[in-house]
Structure 1
Amino acid sequence: MMRIVVKVGSAVLAHNDSLAFDRMGNLVNFLAELKKNNEVVLVSSGAVAAGYTKIQLDRSVITNKQALASIGQPVLMHTYAEKFSKHNIIISQVLVTAANLSKVQEINKIKNTVDTLISNGVLPIINENDATTTDELEVGDNDQLSAYITKHIDADMLIILSDIDAYYDKDPRKNTDAKILKIVNSIDKKDLDKNATPHGTFATGGIVTKLKAASYLLNNNIDTFLATGFDLKDIQSYLLDENHIGGTLFTNKGAK
């Protein structure tokens, strides 16, 4: 049995200024299946997007964004709770800040909480506490958060589900001959130093933050798998059928 952290981004969870309920349903169905033989932790974006469905505030203003996160977090969790209940799965909310991840004592508290939840069959859903974070105390984005959580709770693998379906040898938006890199053992520093280019309205990262997360975990000998969150066939094939068809595996261990 593996302990797997699954991170899903706002680009997957939001559509046309609303929550993408069908995609959330497909995600929950997949996680329920994965949970049958694995310990599963979800790192979920989407609080700001969920808040925006209730009140349309200017997201470029930090206080508005924090307010939207505060409004949206219970909306998001209620939606997850309803969908997971169909599988008789209880969920929990774990909100963290950068301060929680900067001290060993705080890290241990998070791990102990997650361990207790998992041992009781609960599926923890983790998010940064966007309603109270400041520039000085924010993790930055949920790609980085998911990488830190993966390491600190002794997980075996991070799965990043995104609007980006894989890591390519060149930008596929600009190059029609771009090829998927199915297995990556190291990431060039110049790719890590590029500016983040988020795609969706509510997104904060892009490929760069995902590469940084994967690089952090590579340095800690933990695998990362990047796949699309729009169509889950690649990640289902990899994790449930042990068949690597699409997506990118970042690993120090060679091919699976």
Structure 2
Amino acid sequence: MNQTTSDKQTIVIKVGSTLIAPNGRVDRKTCLPAISSYINQCFEQGIRVVLVSSGSVAAGKHFFSNETPSAIEKKAMAATGQSEMIATWDSLLHKPCAQILLTQADLQERTRYTNIKSTVNQLLDNGIIPIVNENDAVTSGQFEVGDNDNLSAMIAACIHADTLIICTDIDGLYDKNPHTHDDAQLIKEVKTITPEILKMAGGSNSNVGTGGMITKLQAAQKATEHGIDTIIVNGKKKESFEALFEKVNPGTFFEAQGKPLQDQTHWLIHTSKAVGELIIKEEEDNKIAVNARNLDFRDIVEVNGEFAAGDTVLIKDVKGKKIAKATSLCSSCLLNFVNDHQDENTIMESALKQGPIIQKTELAIFAPTL
């Protein structure tokens, strides 16, 4: 571990449900004092901290009698538990706290995404700790991020954080499941997240949280590709946080990429969800058209999904290979109409006059491995 958070200006700390409310109630005594003490020390040393805190559903569970809650009951639990969770952090942290509840829709739309960055920085500039969580009380379907591991990486990228710390209930990434293999070895450092590394992640062993090790690796990949060092640590151990300040790696350290993705490209690949697909002809000329950012109506053979102009779409060839993600300048309705009338010269000539159908400045070409 070459750097620690002591050398950094802004860090994002993600704390999972298993640490906050392991038994359906907020646990103020086991893990939270050490985590909050670390955050307090960071601010004392001039390090800015954003806290991404899970636990609203778990914290609200004890207010409800149903042992197998429905989806809508879980939303009610989230609404109830969120206030208790915020109150707990507010009582443990030495700085005032601010609540930020987000959905995928907030991250999807560029203006709202930019507003998140501005609001978080304004809070930090005024010595206030932003506490971020997914808005589980209202979100569902395509507007759902799904887990706070990935949300924490999106927030870290959004605000250009230096370090992402993911607190969990084991020491880090192991080469095999440590719960079922006595010979499992902790991996101390990962320079590049390869397919082999991803295969090491098993499912979650907790019935409390929504993210297992795979979501933590996904988060680490998002963060490191934005130039953000990422550390998975055992949040149950006070020594983990002591080690961070002593410049000792207490878990698994993921090294930031030396050449991070540009902001717009990173947002398209890792944050914005594609709501539709454009299938292009399997010809070299069309792949060149994508790379040259001048894809037009003639290149499209199929349109999947319903989307509006300005939405993110996935571009694939006819064999299903992912080529790029882009912001569409046309709705699926218009694209389907023109595609259905390609033999009519007047309609095609009118369509071609509109120029490219993708936003040239908002296109991310996938690497061959994706």
Q: What is the TM-score normalised by the length of structure 1?
A: 0.91
Partner of 1:5: 12
Residue 169 in 1 paired to residue 178 in 2? no
Residue 39 in 1 paired to residue 27 in 2? no
Matches of 1:218 and 1:15 in 2, distance apart? 29
- 171-180 or 186-195, which deviates more: 186-195
- 4-13 or 201-210, which deviates more: 201-210
How far does residue 193 in structure 1 lie from its aligned partner after superposition?
Answer: 6.6
Matches of 1:59 and 1:158 in 2, distance apart? 34
How far does residue 160 in structure 1 lie from its aligned partner after superposition?
Answer: 0.3
Counterpart residue type for residue 40 of structure 2:
A
Matches of 2:196 and 2:65 in 1, distance apart? 38
User: In the alignment, which of 245, 250, 256 is matched to residue 254 of structure 2?
Assistant: 250
The 8 Å contact of residues 196 and 205 in structure 1, kept in 2 or not, is answered as no
Matches of 1:252 and 1:115 in 2, distance apart? 22
What percentage of residue pairs aligned between the two structures are identical?
37
| Aligned 1:142-157 pairs, distance under 5 A | 142-157=148-163
Partner of 1:48: 57
How far does residue 191 in structure 1 lie from its aligned partner after superposition?
Answer: 5.1
How far does residue 242 in structure 1 lie from its aligned partner after superposition?
Answer: 1.2
**CA deviation vs aligned residue, 1:49-72 (integer Å, no higher than 9, x gap):** 111132234455211111100111
Change (3 A) 1:193 1:105: farther
**CA deviation vs aligned residue, 1:187-237 (integer Å, no higher than 9, x gap):** 232554788622222210111100111111222221110001111312331
Q: What is the TM-score normalised by the length of structure 2?
A: 0.64
Q: Which runs of 5+ in 2 are unaligned?
A: 1-7, 259-370
Counterpart residue type for residue 31 of structure 1:
I
Counterpart residue type for residue 2 of structure 1:
Q
Change (3 A) 1:193 1:248: closer
In structure 2, the residue corresponding to 1:226 is in which secondary structure? strand
User: In the alignment, which of 62, 72, 77 is matched to residue 71 of structure 2?
Assistant: 62
Matches of 2:71 and 2:199 in 1, distance apart? 25
Partner of 1:28: 36
Higher RCO, Cα 8 Å, sep 6+: 1
Matches of 2:241 and 2:38 in 1, distance apart? 9
Residue 19 in 1 paired to residue 26 in 2? yes
| Aligned 1:215-226 pairs, distance under 5 A | 215-226=221-232
Partner of 2:217: 211
Counterpart residue type for residue 142 of structure 2:
E
Matches of 2:76 and 2:110 in 1, distance apart? 30
- 66-75 or 28-37, which deviates more: 28-37
Matches of 2:257 and 2:241 in 1, distance apart? 19
**CA deviation vs aligned residue, 1:77-120 (integer Å, no higher than 9, x gap):** 11111222xx3x10110111101111221111001110110010
Change (3 A) 1:60 1:207: farther
Matches of 1:141 and 1:175 in 2, distance apart? 26
The 8 Å contact of residues 59 and 65 in structure 1, kept in 2 or not, is answered as no
Partner of 1:180: 186
How far does residue 136 in structure 1 lie from its aligned partner after superposition?
Answer: 1.4
Matches of 2:142 and 2:11 in 1, distance apart? 29
The 8 Å contact of residues 4 and 156 in structure 1, kept in 2 or not, is answered as yes
Change (3 A) 1:200 1:170: closer
Matches of 2:42 and 2:162 in 1, distance apart? 14
In structure 1, the residue corresponding to 2:124 is in which secondary structure? helix
Counterpart residue type for residue 249 of structure 1:
F
**CA deviation vs aligned residue, 1:14-67 (integer Å, no higher than 9, x gap):** 232221111222221121012222000000001011111322344552111111
Aligned pairs, how many?
249
| Aligned 1:228-239 pairs, distance under 5 A | 228-238=234-244
Counterpart residue type for residue 24 of structure 1:
L
Matches of 2:89 and 2:78 in 1, distance apart? 16
Counterpart residue type for residue 32 of structure 1:
N
Counterpart residue type for residue 248 of structure 2:
N
Matches of 1:28 and 1:155 in 2, distance apart? 19
Partner of 2:338: none
In structure 1, the residue corresponding to 2:63 is in which secondary structure? coil
Q: CA RMSD of the aligned region, Å?
A: 1.9
